[in-house]
Amino acid sequence: MKSYAKNYAVYQIGENKGQYVNLEFAYLKDLSIIDMHLRHFILTASIDLEHALKVRLLKDFNNSPDDGYKLVEKYLREFPDVMSDIERKQDNSYTADLAGKLLKEGFAIWNIIELLSLKDFLVLYRRFYEEYPDCLTGPNYYYPMQAVRKLRNAAAHNNCLINSLRKPYCGQPRYNPHVDKLLTKIDASKESRRKNKSNQVVYDFITMLCLIDEVIPNEKMRQKILNNAQNLFHGRMLKNKEFYSKENSITSSYSFVNKVVDFLCEKKYNNSVI
């Protein structure tokens, strides 16, 4: 909980030197609760996003000359650690039966994806389109999904996410041309865009929102996920908004991301940002 204090300034001189400015314990507690809700949203949304990307890959695979086995054989030779991980799963895993069965019968692209971590799946995803570039029916999501993977890993390990709004982990502006295209449509100043692009958590979260809107094929499912984000930003995050009225690092980051959430929910662009 103490880590959220990094969002607040510290008196540099005077009798309060070394103490935080406009900070109460209740503020830290509230931020930790908001962060918990944010992590829950990220985990749920990223699982749906991963599933949708697997479906898209298999759909594109149907247009390839590959038999489903050749590419996987090359992939496993190139990345032997993946096979070692699958072998371990046959001994103690919820996918033990599938792992044992496929180790005997062989792996095809449509079944190995059920056994791969997100990291390993994304490598397979990249290798497929490198091998069969003509099968790519839309944008390549490999690099944007790396941002989502890092964000999901942080959420899964209960890492604090919104404790770096004042001093971002990443000091350099991040750049993804597709996400930046969306940000030009948001009612925000150039300085606000620059500042939020330099914050890894903020930019990766916006990247995930863009991918959800682009990759999730079912309109009702896609809208439900985005509505869940909007409910979080309009609901629990504002429950104690008076706590943060004097801390610009928090309010400005919230305002910027909230504009992205609202923009996506209201469908003010042509659904081809990424």
Question: 8-62 pLDDT, tens per residue?
Answer: 888 888 888 888 888 889 999 999 999 999 999 999 999 999 999 999 999 999 9
At what angle are helices 25-61 and 200-215 packed, to 10 degrees? 40
Pairwise CA distance, residues 160 & 1, whole Å:
9
Residue type, 266: E
Length of the chain: 274
Whole-structure pTM value: 0.90
User: Is residue 218 within 8 Å of 55, Cβ to Cβ?
Assistant: no
What pLDDT, on the 0 to 100 scale, is given for residue 178? 77
Model confidence at 99: pLDDT above 60: yes
Q: How many CB atoms lie within 10 A of CB 22?
A: 12
Read off the pLDDT band of 226 (50, 70, 90).
Answer: very high
pLDDT tens-digit series, residues 115-130: 999 999 999 999 999 9
**Are 120 and 89 in contact, with CB atoms under 8 Å apart?**
no
Domain boundaries, the chain: 1-63+139-274, 65-136
Answer for the pair 208, 39: CB distance below 8 angstroms, yes or no: no
For the chain, give the secondary structure using H, E and C. Answer: CHHHHHHCCECCCCCCCCCECCCCHHHHHHHHHHHHHHHHHHHHHHHHHHHHHHHHHHHHHCCCCCCCCHHHHHHHHHCHHHHHHHHHHCCCCCCHHHHHHHHHHCCCHHHHCCCCCHHHHHHHHHHHHHHCHHHCCCCCCHHHHHHHHHHHHHHHCCCCCCCCCCCCCCCCCCCCHHHHHHHCCCCCCHHHHHHHHCCHHHHHHHHHHHHHHHHCCCHHHHHHHHHHHHHHHHCHHHCCHHHHCCCHHHHHHHHHHHHHHHHHHCCCCCCCCC
Mean per-residue pLDDT over the chain, rounded: 90
At 161-207, the pLDDT tens digits run 999 888 766 556 567 887 888 888 888 888 888 888 889 999 999 99
How many CB atoms lie under 10 A from the CB of residue 231?
15
